[in-house]
Amino acid sequence: MKTTNHSEYLKLKSVYLKPAKNAFVSDILISQQWRELNYLSRPDYDSALEEYQEFENCLKNADVGLLFFPHNTNVGIDSIYCRDASIATDFGMIICNMGKAGRRNEPEAHTQVFEDNEIPILGKIKSPGRLEGGDVAWLDTKTLAVGHSYRTNQDGIDQLKALLEPEGIEIIVADLPHYKGVNDVFHLMSILSPVDKDLAVVYSPLMPIKFRNELLHRGFDLVEVPDDEFDSMGCNVLAIAARHCIMVEGNPNTKLALEEKGCKVQTYKGDEISVKGGGGPTCLTRPLQRSL
């Protein structure tokens, strides 16, 4: 069976996770870090473990191969959002350079795991370039969208282009708005989740007009997240297969809209591991291979 790393919606075969026990570690570590990392409130460690097990079970039950980033004393509790420190491509991993100062050690932690497991590395984003995985989404196997945000700068985007355009990959840039400012968790995937080749979940009020029109031009049907479900992560949807989605519970209108488009939707309670830290199911995963 042929596989690719260039998809957000094909059948997920393998994924890296950073379990809550390996990232949050203890109530003591959470108490030391949550304010500085700009969490909405302090996560509860025991509840986070329960929520993460429910989330992990959604993947296990879909026969997804699970790989794990270990505990690493050089990174903090934000490392649970393991999408951000690296990007998977068919040509090797791209190691990011984080825009959030408190996460600067995470790319090196990813590098060590990939090297230990003989996973090839295509390249690394170097300062002054910044690039985070949450700002990157595959629209199809030849097209990668990247958000120009407070976490991902033009230098980082230029380095990404230098790595992928020679391989025949088209890079589409979405210039993201200021929204809540420098300290907020706001990535391209805060407002975009592709769930099939022609279906994406979006929050249009914060979507660049040019980029939204590009999605429509490419034939995407858009599931619009209502205003009252944006902060509860209604737009952060992980496809584990085409139109088979995982999302944070508490977004009934978005869930219904997806189901009306023929999607199977599973939910997990994400108060501690998702909402408080601003990272939904796409953020909690570093997808690797998907079936073509």
- Report whether pLDDT(181) > 90: no
Domain of residue 15, CATH code: 3.75.10.10
- 246 token code pair: 């995982």
**Residue 182 confidence class, pLDDT cut points 50, 70, 90:** confident
**Residue 1 confidence class, pLDDT cut points 50, 70, 90:** confident
pLDDT, tens only, 27-80: 999 999 999 999 999 999 999 999 999 999 999 999 999 999 999 999 999 999
CB contact at 8 A, 46 and 281 = no
Q: Give the residue numbers spanning the domain of 19.
A: 3-291
pLDDT, tens only, 278-289: 999 999 999 999
d(Cα 251, Cα 84) in Å, to the nearest integer? 24
**Residue 104 confidence class, pLDDT cut points 50, 70, 90:** very high
pLDDT number for residue 183? 79
d(Cα 75, Cα 209) in Å, to the nearest integer? 37
Residues of the chain with pLDDT > 70, as a percent, come to: 100
Tell me the average pLDDT across 87-110.
97
Domain count, the chain: 1
Give CB contacts under 8 A, 24+ apart, made by 120-123: 120/91, 120/92, 120/93, 121/92, 121/93, 121/94, 121/95, 122/89, 122/91, 122/92, 122/93, 122/94, 122/163, 123/92, 123/94, 123/95, 123/159, 123/163
pLDDT number for residue 185? 79
Is residue 128 reached through a cis peptide bond, with omega within 30 degrees of 0 on the bond before it?
Answer: yes
pTM of the model: 0.96
